[in-house]
Amino acid sequence: MAPLYAGLMSGTSLDGIDAVLAEVGQGGGCRLRHALFHPFPDDLRRTLLGLNQAGANELETAALAANELARRYAAVIADLLKESGTRADQVTAIGCHGQTVRHRPDLGYTLQLNNPALLAELSGITVVGDFRSRDIAAGGQGAPLVPAFHAGAFRHPLRNRVIVNIGGISNLTWLPAEGDALGFDCGPGGLLLDGWCESHTGQPFDRNGEWAAGGTVIGELLAALLAHPFFALTPPKSTGRDDFHLSWLQARLKADYDARDVQATLLELTARAIADAIDKHCPGAGEIHLCGGGAHNGALRQRLAALTGLAIGLTDDLGIPADWVEATAFAWLARQTLAGTTGNLPAVTGARHPCVLGAIYPA
């Protein structure tokens, strides 16, 4: 059995914590052993969402939120070990990305709330965190980081594959059978879809895209949204709630727009951003495999298939279930850090050179 690593991921969607226990071999191959999800309580979710904007006493609020996150990360790890019948001393390390609340590589910083020292203390397991900062120090975007893992886990010697992660933000990894891998953020994934749905239906997300499917795309609104400068940028590029948020959307709405039609337009925006990125940067793509929460949105999958003309599958078909790819990636990145092996792809992030990512907090 290869060494065991745990991976934790709480993403832009702010729904909760994904946790995995995986065997990670010397060659970087991963085998998922166990996985689970803990939702965020509403008060923590509201606090984290609020910290994406400037506010009163935000330094203390952020520090306290980081401590609460560490306690919740530790609780997830405890359940993960209990359910899998694993002892803490059998786990080499936890890869913990933390919760992104600001991402401004254009200004030379990114901020993920985390207290890895507290997590190491509570779990009794070495923790690796702060994965983005080293890449940004080398002139990169610090994101996306998962394409390096995608390249190791999903590349095929004969097939030109695209891996699309649809979380709060959508990003893709281009894995040609020959040549270098490429990856970048495409634009909003579920971030706007979930926020608009919750504010108008009370549901945290539009299950299977059914609400959006009953609406009609508003052409002038779609054009206004696609006019965002991010879409015209060439990779490397990354984005987040700093660029795409409900206030940005609401500034482009008209009073007579129907809420369901707005949802349909947001689904089209997400699909169009991904399809346009594939068309421009993935020549000869033969298949698309989705991961992340948005992979389960049937209406979105159908629209992607129509726009790209390609078969749409899930990463489940490639050995790692769609819900657990990102958490597994951080287990893999923790292994890279402890091995002193680079974890970024400069062609993806724009860094000047490959870097060993992350900071180590021994148990």
Per-residue model confidence as pLDDT tens digits over 154-164: 999 999 999 99
Tell me the C-alpha distance between 264 and 311, whole Å.
22
Residue 73 clears pLDDT 80, i.e. is over it: yes
| Six token digits for residue 49 | 């969402």
- Residues 278, 340, single domain; the answer is no
Pick left, alpha or beta for residue 358 (phi over 0 → left; psi -120 to 50 → alpha; otherwise beta). left
- Residues 124, 182, single domain; the answer is no
- Residues 42, 109, single domain; the answer is yes
- Residues 283, 157, single domain; the answer is yes
- Residues 21, 135, single domain; the answer is yes
16-49 confidence digits (pLDDT tens): 999 999 999 887 789 999 999 999 999 999 999 9
Could you tell me if 155 and 349 are in contact, meaning their C-beta atoms sit under 8 angstroms apart?
A: no
Full domain range(s) for residue 328: 4-143+324-361
- Residues 311, 336, single domain; the answer is no
If you average pLDDT over every residue of the chain, what do you get? Answer: 96
- Residues 124, 259, single domain; the answer is no
- Residues 128, 55, single domain; the answer is yes
Residue 193, CA distances (Å) to 136, 199, 210, 211 in order = 29, 10, 12, 10
- Residues 155, 286, single domain; the answer is yes
- Residues 257, 156, single domain; the answer is yes
**Residue that is written with structure tokens 């306290």 in the block:** 64
Residue 232, CA distances (Å) to 28, 171, 181, 189, 199 in order = 34, 15, 21, 17, 29
| CATH number assigned to the domain comprising residue 44 | 3.30.420.40
- Residues 138, 159, single domain; the answer is no
Pick left, alpha or beta for residue 217 (phi over 0 → left; psi -120 to 50 → alpha; otherwise beta). beta
Confidence of residue 179 (pLDDT cuts 50, 70, 90): very high
Residue 120 clears pLDDT 90, i.e. is over it: yes
Closest CA to 198 of 72, 46, 357: 46
238-297 confidence digits (pLDDT tens): 999 999 999 999 999 999 999 999 999 999 999 999 999 999 999 999 999 999 999 999
Give the count of domains, the chain: 2
- Residues 169, 123, single domain; the answer is no
Whole-number pLDDT of residue 28: 75
Name residue 92's amino acid: T
